[in-house]
Chain A
């Protein structure tokens, strides 16, 4: 079946502009995560959605970052007034409802964001 898809695959933007990144999770997956990965760094948790529950935004680095998930499916990550330090690969992952033990996360191919 279809995996997690993300768009665009690459985005180059000027400092100060807003960008929107999109994630289409695997159908039926209720959990959705956004991460970012800078060159040579580990994955940094940004935000988590689970069903209709309030999202866990504890990883968002500043109030310039926000995310929505509409209808429990597609999610968009918005970065306002982009800065050069926002340049990174933004990865989306989805999984089945969290259980014990936790379910595998399936990652999308990522959006490579470059802020010039």
Chain B
């Protein structure tokens, strides 16, 4: 079983729409959670960390549900520039590995 699972999409949404991605993780020892963004043929870049109480950064809101072992990313008022692949990343409280999901593809349509 993969450590991190994501719906690969693609999600095609019109500008201005709200879109949500979920990601599940298998290991209850997971401690640190992140969303990274990866543009086509580019390197991943941190979008936001995910905190236990949930956190918001502008149009982006991240939530963590430890009981159900999933994290979510909500994007409000989608922009064309939000088109990218969104990677869910988890780190356990032991060891050195960060576990990356395969990503969810988002295309925002004019």
Contact = CB atoms under 8 A, between A and B. Distances in A.
A50 B99 CA distance: 17
B97 interface: yes
Interface in B60-110: 87, 91, 93, 95-103
B45 interface: yes
Interface string B44-69: 11100100000000000000000000
Please classify how large the interface on chain B is, using the bins under 10, 10 to 19, 20 to 34, 35 or more.
20 to 34
Please classify how large the interface on chain A is, using the bins under 10, 10 to 19, 20 to 34, 35 or more.
20 to 34
Contacts of B98: 33, 45, 102, 105
B103 A102 contact: no
A100 B32 CA distance: 8
Interface in A37-73: 40-43, 45, 48, 50, 56, 58-59
A69 B93 CA distance: 25
A76 B46 CA distance: 24
B43 A107 contact: yes
A107 B89 CA distance: 14
Given A42-B101, A102-B32, A108 B96 contact: no
Interface of A: 33, 35, 40-43, 45, 48, 50, 56, 58-59, 91, 98, 100-102, 104-110
Given A35-B100, A108-B43, 6 more contacts: A42-B100, A42-B102, A48-B97, A56-B96, A102-B32, A109-B43
9 contacts: A42-B102, A43-B87, A45-B99, A48-B97, A50-B96, A102-B32, A106-B46, A107-B43, A109-B42
